[in-house]
Amino acid sequence: MIKLAIFDMDGVLTETSHYHYLAWKALADDLGIVIDEAFNEELKGVSRKESLIRILEHGNQLNKCSEDEIGRLMTQKNDHYRQLIEAVTPNDLFEGVIEIFQLLKKNNIRIAVGSASRNAPFLIERLGIKSYIDYVVDPSQVRGKPEPDIFLDAAAFFNLSSEDCIGIEDAKAGVEAINSAGMLSIGIGDAEVLKDADYAYNSTKDSYSYFETLTLVR
């Protein structure tokens, strides 16, 4: 029986993954490195530092970057990203999120946020969903996706085993993380990108039917 649902944030609860892309694209442009949405697909769910390393490698510039320079570039990207999300309001929550949260609460299924983003607590506040969330994983304390740690950390917080948990993700690295945590994986978005997910839906709203089946068997 499922007791905990662990939601990714960017691209699952709200469309901030596009803002991450815009901020990385601006930084890459500055560095003279060309990235596009297809390249960005591989960055989804990946930590800030690892994303930057992949961009620098892609532009053959990793070798000439000192640790200080990497730190400076990470700050530049994050400052830009923070500007982009400054105006986020509850209206930016994806359709269906509140209905899913209410359904889970009604059935005593806990809700955690398992995002790779250090900005997740800020967004949870801005989106007005704090009262629904029982636990937020701190990604600075564990290995990033596609390692399973973010999902295992949430399960451990509630003293649950993996079979009691599901993970909801829009990123390839995220689905891989859920699968290697031994949890059921729900993919949101492109079925081809999410082909390793146990279930895939075009949108968060469409996944409501899955959460209904969860509560029917209770």
179 binds, among Mg ion, ligand BG6, none (CB under 5 to 8 A by kind): none
Q: Which is nearer to ligand BG6, 3 or 80 (CB)?
A: 80
Tell whether residue 170 is a contact of Mg ion (CB under 5 A). Answer: yes
State how far the Cα of 160 lies from the Cα of 89, in Å rounded to an integer: 33
**Closer residue to Mg ion in complex, CB, 33/187:** 187
**C-beta of 40 vs 162, nearer to ligand BG6:** 40
153 binds Mg ion (CB under 5 A): no
Is residue 8 part of the annotated active site? The answer reads yes
**Which of the listed partners (Mg ion, ligand BG6, none) does 61 bind, with a CB threshold of 5 to 8 Å by partner kind?**
none
96-121 burial by CB neighbour count: b if 16+ within 10 A, else e? bbeebbebbeebebbbbbbbbbebbb
Strands in 4-7's sheet, in edge-to-edge order, are: 135-136, 110-113, 4-7, 165-169, 184-188, 199-201
Question: Closest by alpha carbon to 203, among 71, 72, 100, 119?
Answer: 100
Q: Which is nearer to Mg ion, 10 or 176 (CB)?
A: 10
In whole angstroms, how close is the CB of 200 to ligand BG6 at the nearest point?
17
Which position among 8, 149, 153, 170 bears the catalytic label?
8
Catalytic annotation present for 170: no
Q: How far apart are CA 188 and CA 170, in angstroms?
A: 5
What is the residue type of 113?
Answer: V
Task: Answer with the entry of ligand BG6, Mg ion, none that 185 interacts with (C-beta below 5 to 8 A by kind).
Answer: none
- Fill in the per-residue mask, 1 to 40: x = in contact with Mg ion (CB under 5 A), - = not in contact: -------x-xx-----------------------------
CA pair distance 160, 197, nearest whole angstrom: 21
Min separation Cβ 158 and Mg ion, Å: 22
Q: Which of 14, 3, 33 is nearest to 127 (CA)?
A: 14
- The whole-angstrom separation of Cα 152 and Cα 25 is 32
**Please, what is the minimum distance in Å from the beta carbon of residue 17 to Mg ion?**
5
Task: Give the residues lining the site for Mg ion (CB under 5 A).
Answer: 8, 10-11, 170-171
